[in-house]
Structure 1
């Protein structure tokens, strides 16, 4: 009988392709996202609140509903002070009542921006340093915007001018 020898060849471990590590990391990220999504769905309530909110959001607007129109960009201007100039940035939202007023205000945003910028740049740094001064500026801005819109639309339309961001440096 002939002896057959069985020889095993051991090959050194080859290098992994360069794409394998990023692919494994991406797969782990996707798996983690799926697990988090499942946990969030399980931990959330039965959704009855969401359905109730959806019904409330789909109800038609009445003229008494408060709506807000944000100015597309913040107002940025310089104010002279006693010893130096100050850079001021104000973010503004306009409160109106009803969808028709909201549509008209959106239509006249460039006119409103002009009125607000004129009002803001006419103030002084000492005035804006105090809370009372900011309130006075807000009131003055409201009156100027209402006057401007009254001349164009025949109605003041704006109920409040809100400062949602105010930086002075």
Structure 2
């Protein structure tokens, strides 16, 4: 009988220790799951968002381009240009005032910043025009496109945003 009590007390002690071990394992598993969840939501997802943004290059550029496409038009008036037309014809002078159409404020700032370079290149382009060509609607359209491409080229060379949508003539006189 004494042996039975001894066996029961040993079983009670070992089952008490077993309950504590199981309880500790459950608590450790819960802590590990909570830590894993915290890592996933705080660290892992922020890394995914940084990769989606391209660490400030591709993703940010795409977001900026999308925002610019939805922005309202900005009209920026350039100073007037008066040039001698060197090609033979009835007109000897060409006076042009133009407005640059963009959706990006940074382009307007870049146009103001690089005005001397822009004026130099556009004066050369305008002076090389022929009266017979520029006197037609198609010639004016071609000149507007050439001016637009010239502006884009100048801004790109300067490392500035070059989002020029259109070049509009506000004054066009040949004498």
Give the TM-score band, short-chain normalised.
Answer: 0.5 to 0.7
Segments of structure 1 that go 5 or more residues without pairing to the other structure are 1-61
CA RMSD of aligned residues (A): 1.8
For the residues of structure 1 that align with 2:77 and 2:93, how far apart are their CA atoms? Answer: 21
For the residues of structure 2 that align with 1:113 and 1:80, how far apart are their CA atoms? Answer: 18
For the residues of structure 1 that align with 2:158 and 2:174, how far apart are their CA atoms? Answer: 32
**1:121 pairs with 102, 114, 127, which one?**
127
For the residues of structure 2 that align with 1:152 and 1:124, how far apart are their CA atoms? Answer: 29
Indicate the residue corresponding to 1:108 in structure 2: 114
SS at match of 1:106: helix
Indicate the residue corresponding to 2:159 in structure 1: 153
CA-to-aligned-CA distance 1:101-147 (integer Å, 9 cap, x gap):
22222222222222211211111111111111111011011111101
Larger radius of gyration: 2
More strand, by proportion: 1
For the residues of structure 1 that align with 2:172 and 2:98, how far apart are their CA atoms? Answer: 9
Segments of structure 2 that go 5 or more residues without pairing to the other structure are 1-66
Q: TM-score, normalised by structure 1?
A: 0.57
Kindly tell me the number of residue pairs found equivalent between the two proteins. 107
Q: Are the counterparts in 2 of residues 69 and 102 from structure 1 also a CA contact under 8 Å?
A: yes
Indicate the residue corresponding to 2:142 in structure 1: 136
Q: Are the counterparts in 2 of residues 79 and 123 from structure 1 also a CA contact under 8 Å?
A: yes
More helix, by proportion: 2
Label 1:100 to 1:82 Cα distance change in 2 as closer, same or farther (>3 A): closer
